[in-house]
Structures are given as structure tokens and as C-alpha cells.
Amino acid sequence: MKYALIGKKLGHSYSAAIHNALNASYDLVELTEEELPLFLANPSYEGFNVTVPYKKSVIPYLHEISPIATLAGSVNTIKVKDGLLYGYNTDVSGMEYMIARCGLTLKNKVVMILGSGGTSGTACALAQKQGAKKVYVVSRTGEVNYTNCPRKGVQILINATPVGMYPNVDESPIELTGFESLEGVFDCVYNPRKTRLILAAENLGIVASSGLPMLVAQAVKAEEIWREENFDDKVEELISAIARDKVNVVLEGMPSSGKTTVGKLVADILGREFYDVDEEIKRETGRTPSDIINKDGEAVFRDIESTVVRRLVKESGKVIALGGGSVIREENVLAFRQNGVVFYLNRPLSLLTAEDRPISQKEGIKALYEKRRSLYENAADFTVESINATSSAENIVAILNGLKF
């Protein structure tokens, strides 16, 4: 049996990886508006998912639509049976799973939904299903918009817009100042793993989730509709497997702490591409970091470094060795934490060297270590002792493989 995802631009979709993990034959089919009716008139699949911008466009072609899809006003799953198309909305159950996974519900809560498109309809349907106390739908030009939306009393915030999605990962749909009653922040964007909105919520100690659990749960529900089997026990396993595959392994630490050597070993073990920020700077500028610092000054070098860091960490599934001073700028930390699990390679001070490292030579290794240590610790998810490169790499891989996302 063959299944597919239809949409306009699918290059960065995770859907195939999820469905293939359930032993399904699953294609990504990009369609123009003109091609959509022909595809629906004679589908060559037993079932297919629908993504933007066609979740509403497919409805007139359906023989029957489920009650929850009617409530949401959009269809993301279609089953083909006896030549007829049956429409469902598994996004609602996916969103319900994402929120419940964090121990929360919309029942009797004041909910704010950002956006007025198809995903907003999904959130509104869930709010109605669960019995939310009050729902605010915020749009750019609506009666309730980003300049006048109420913040006091809002308990659950759901981002149903694409703001913050790859490649525009520096954007956030709203600032969290003034939301004094927030219990949970949920972002339907799943790439990057942690949007700026989610990082802001976590920084405030608010329960938060990006959209990967929703994506996986809705995909599993679609498989259950198509195949009439139960896959509930696969959801958490798939969330961790997909996250682990897509997340970057980011290595930080003092100059000469072994980031490049360990990073290459980790990349070899995992079968991933390896990138070294200092080497990327050299490749792009034709100059070494030392040369740039000595001739143009540290500030110029940091600007170049930030540009390279923010470009590299947007990608997924890489191993990235940062420069020793990449943690100095908060913008860099925010960037590499979005899609990365961050490992601080803590090498004993006695083993560090200042050779060909102008900042280490200027400030002294001990002083530089004391100055940066808290920055490394605060930015890291895990600290790994860096004495033997092989054992450090194996330790990092073991930690990564054991993570539940």
C-alpha cells in the first residue's frame, strides 16, 4: 500500500521519515494549484496527507468529511476507498497529544491562538472540543491583533502561524512580556526544534513544546485511519527517533579543548557531516581567525563568526564545533540552542594551550577560562570531560542515543 503527502513546497518535510519508520511506502508529491484537481480525480495512493496550502482546497472533492474536520474547517488526511475520498483532520488529535504530553489541557482555560489560517482552525476546534473558558484568535489585521491583544489572564498560548519556521528562525510571533498567567506555550512549528518563542518560554520557566510531537502524533493517527491498525505505542519512540536524527550535535569549550578532534569522531560514529566554525571562517574569508583578530581586531572577527554560526546551526542533523568564543554573544547561543543538543567539552586547565590563539595569549589561559566557564556551563545541555578524544566522543554519542525528546 502506498501513501503520500501533497502540498506546494515539501523540501523540508519530516513526514516521509515518520511514515517510513512505520514501514509505510510514503512519497512527497508537490502539486501546483492547477495540478491539484487532476490528482484528486485519479489518486494513485490508498491514502494521503494534505499540507499547506491545500487543507481547505481539497474539501469540495471529498465524498465525506469527519465531524472534527468539519469543526476545524480543514482536512489534512484523506483515505481512498472504492474510488471515493474521505476527509479527516488528524492535526486536532496531534495538537491534543502535544498539549497533554506536557500535562496540560485547554479545559476551562483562557487560550490565545496566534494566526487565522488552517492551523488556527485546528486549535479552535481543539479548544471547543476540550471546553476552553475563553479563546482569543489573534491575526495581523483582525479585530484582535498583535497591537491590541489582551495578555492579562491568558493561560495557554498556541502559535498557529509559520513565524519562526526554517529558514527564518530568528523571528518570533510575539513577545511574552505581560503574559503573567501563562501555564503553557505551544508552537506548531517543528523546524527548528526550539523556536525563539519556545526558548523565551523556557527561559521564563513556562512549560513549552514545539510542534514535533504534534507532527508525529497526527502522522500516526493518519496511519491508523489508512491501515485500520493501532500504533499508539509508537508515538513516543518516533518523537525521540526523529528528533535525534534531526538535531545538531553542538560542541563548545575553550580553545584547544578538543572540539574539532572529538567532533570528527562523533560525526564518523553517527555518519553525519562535520563542520568547524573556525574552518568555515577560513574557507569563506580565505583568512585564519588568528590573522583576522591580529590585523582587524576581535570585534571584526566576532561579527564574521556570528554570521557563520547562525548559518551553520540553521541546518539539521550536523555535528558542529564552535569557536572558543562563540558563546560570548547571546545571539549565537540562542541560535545554536534552537536546533542543537549542546555539549561543553571541559578540558583540564593544565592541558589547554595558547599556541596560535591570540586571545588566549593576550588574556592568559587561566583568566580566559575563569571568564568563560560560566558561559559554557549555562549554554550547555551536557558537560563532557575532555581528556581522551575517543572516550569523549563515545560518551557524547551514548548521551545522544539515550535522550528522550
Question: Could you give the count of Cα atoms lying within 13 Å of 91 in the half-sphere of its Cβ?
Answer: 30
Q: Which residues belong to CATH 3.40.50.720 in the chain?
A: 93-210
Q: Please give the Cα distance from 292 to 301 (Å, whole number).
A: 6
Q: Which residues belong to CATH 3.40.50.300 in the chain?
A: 247-402
Beta bridge mates, 86: 64, 79
- The predicted pLDDT at position 359 comes to 75
Question: Could you give the count of Cα atoms lying within 13 Å of 375 in the half-sphere of its Cβ?
Answer: 19
Sequence length of the chain is 405
Q: What is the CB neighbour count within 10 angstroms for residue 165? A: 19
Q: Which residues belong to CATH 3.40.50.10860 in the chain?
A: 2-88+220-237
**Contacts of 393 by beta carbon, 8 Å cutoff, 6+ apart:** 262, 265, 266, 269
| pTM for this entry | 0.93
- The predicted pLDDT at position 69 comes to 97
Indicate the CATH number for domain 93-210.
3.40.50.720
Cell 502535544 found at = 98
Find, among 380, 379, 347, the residue nearest to 365 by Cα.
Answer: 347
Q: What is the CB neighbour count within 10 angstroms for residue 371? A: 12
| Domain 2-88+220-237: homologous superfamily in CATH | Leucine Dehydrogenase, chain A, domain 1 (3.40.50.10860)
Indicate the CATH number for domain 247-402.
3.40.50.300
Q: Please give the Cα distance from 94 to 88 (Å, whole number).
A: 12
Catalytically active residues, by annotation:
55
Backbone angles phi and psi of 54, in degrees to 5: -110, 10
8-state DSSP, 322: P
Q: Please give the Cα distance from 150 to 178 (Å, whole number).
A: 9
**pLDDT means over runs of 10, the chain (405 residues):** 94 92 96 97 95 94 97 96 97 98 98 94 97 97 93 97 95 96 97 96 97 98 97 95 96 96 98 98 96 95 97 96 96 96 96 77 84 97 97 98 95
Cell 502539486 found at = 31
Cell 582587524 found at = 296
Q: Please give the Cα distance from 44 to 80 (Å, whole number).
A: 9
Q: Please give the Cα distance from 257 to 260 (Å, whole number).
A: 9
